[in-house]
């Protein structure tokens, strides 16, 4: 594979991990959802 293909695969996985993959230790929230949840708590 070319460097560009590998870069795209890694970028796609990072997007998946941060936006789609729910994590049990975070109440089944994705990392982005958990971050937003923490920001909402800090503002409240």
- The domain segmentation of the chain, as residue ranges, is 3-43
pLDDT digits (tens, 9 = 90+) for 6-37: 999 999 999 999 999 998 888 899 999 999 99
CA 4, chain centre distance (Å):
22
Using alpha carbons only, give the angle 17, 20, 21 rounded to the nearest 5 degrees.
55
The Cα 25–Cα 34 span in angstroms is 10
Of 33, 8, 40, 39, the closest CA to residue 18 belongs to 33
**Given this model, what pLDDT does residue 34 score?**
95
pTM of the model: 0.73
Q: Once rounded to an integer, what is the mean pLDDT over residues 37-44?
A: 94
């Amino acid at each position: 594979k070319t460097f560009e293909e590998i870069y795209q695969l890694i970028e796609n996985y990072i997007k998946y991990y941060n936006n789609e993959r729910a994590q049990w230790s975070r109440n089944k929230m994705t990392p982005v959802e958990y971050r937003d949840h923490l920001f909402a708590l800090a503002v409240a």
